[in-house]
Amino acid sequence: MDIHHIPALRTPVMVISFTGWNDAGEAATGAVAHLLGAWSGDTTSILPELIAEIDPEEFYDFQVNRPIIDLDESHIRSITWPTTRIFGIQTPHLENDLVIVQGAEPSFRWKQFTREILDLADDLDVSMVVTLGSLLADVPHSRAISVSGSGAHPDIAARLGVEISRYEGPTGILGILQDNCFKRGIDAISLWAAVPHYASQSPSPKASLALINSLEDFLSIDLPQGSLPEAAIEWEKAVTQMATEDSDIGEYVKSLEESKDATDIPEASGESIAKEFERYLRRRTQD
């Protein structure tokens, strides 16, 4: 790992996402990209600082994640290698600063890769790790995007107020990170957004916004929304138009909506309204 700069951070929360298996519709990486640019142009001058980069040579198959060639205005070529970058964001108006981990899921040496990430987390005195993921599901695009929060161990789940992860089967790098956080004694939860499988084209801003809102709710903080709400509305309109033009998809969406409406209980709807009101109050407090 190449260390560029270690900023003075206050018991930061580390937020992690990776492209690939854990990132249906690029919803998770879209949420993290939003966090990195969320405060751009605001009056607080909060900007992410590059802390470190993972050496790509050890962890990536360049035939799977190929380097990208870019040309500047003078037609000078530069190559961007697939890697993982770690940023620090000082947020003096919040209780904790943020550490953002953004990259591509590694191809090799997952154990070593995880050690390097969590060694840096220890060096930065990270107080908690939140991994963001997204998966394809049989859900309607026209209803609220559901986000599930879980902990990798019953003790952590109970203490942090999330569900116990009962998943069994193949896992991505997020599952490995969660397991190693528990072994190191680092509090960690995972937030997963359900992306409609018939509308999985990237990006999926409605699912990214759902992840941002869930992160706000879990940490009891206010995060800038930027253009995400408008992008989410436009995405929903575009998918609705697609369903209107294809009768098979339209009928399928209707059945999903009926199933969703039938299974949503009043208590769940009330909880959603309460969370939305809490977000509104937090933003009023920050204004």
Report all structural domains of the chain as residue ranges with CATH numbers, in order of start. Answer: 2-286 (3.40.50.10900)
Number of helical (H) and strand (E) elements in the chain, helices listed first: 8, 11
Record the tokens describing residue 226, joined without a space.
């930027």
Length of the chain counted residue by residue: 287
Record the tokens describing residue 163, joined without a space.
């569900």
pLDDT tens per residue across all 287 residues of the chain: 899 989 999 999 999 999 999 999 999 999 999 999 887 655 456 789 999 999 999 999 999 999 999 998 888 999 999 999 999 999 988 899 999 999 999 999 999 999 999 999 999 999 999 999 999 999 999 999 999 999 888 888 888 888 888 888 899 999 999 999 999 999 999 999 999 999 888 899 999 999 999 999 999 888 988 899 999 999 999 999 999 998 899 999 999 998 888 887 655 555 554 555 455 555 555 55
Q: In which region does residue 225 sit, left (phi positive, over 0), alpha (psi from -120 to 50) or beta (all else)?
A: alpha
